[in-house]
Amino acid sequence: MIKYGFRIKTRGGMIVENLLVAAQDQPEAERKIAQIYQRCVILECKEMQQTVKEDGMSFESVISLIGRESTTDTPPKG
């Protein structure tokens, strides 16, 4: 999933910034925004970041990798 940041103008004319939506692609993210804010105008859309899972790694595997690195970096006691 990719996170998209939106800046929109609501049907009442209010500007809403920093709306984050996770979606597979930009059209899906825009559909999600349109469902929440009906008749809004999308002023700006930016791709924010990709999650770790898209690279083929789960959250748990990243944590275990970090744990392994921290144990190999510390010198042995005694």
Whole-number pLDDT of residue 65: 73
Number of structural domains (the chain) is 1
Task: Identify whether the C-beta of residue 35 lies closer than 8 Å to the C-beta of residue 58.
Answer: no
Asked, for residue 69, whether it belongs to a domain, the answer is: yes
Asked, for residue 25, whether it belongs to a domain, the answer is: yes
* Residue-range definition of the domain harbouring residue 33: 2-73
Helix (H, G, I), strand (E, B) or coil at 29: helix
What's phi and psi for 6, nearest 5 deg? -120, 150
Asked, for residue 68, whether it belongs to a domain, the answer is: yes
- What strand order describes the sheet that includes 2-9? 15-23, 2-9, 41-50
Asked, for residue 39, whether it belongs to a domain, the answer is: yes
Asked, for residue 78, whether it belongs to a domain, the answer is: no
- How confident is the prediction along the chain (78 residues), in pLDDT tens digits per residue? 899 999 999 999 999 999 999 999 999 999 999 999 999 999 999 998 654 555 566 777 777 778 776 555 555 565
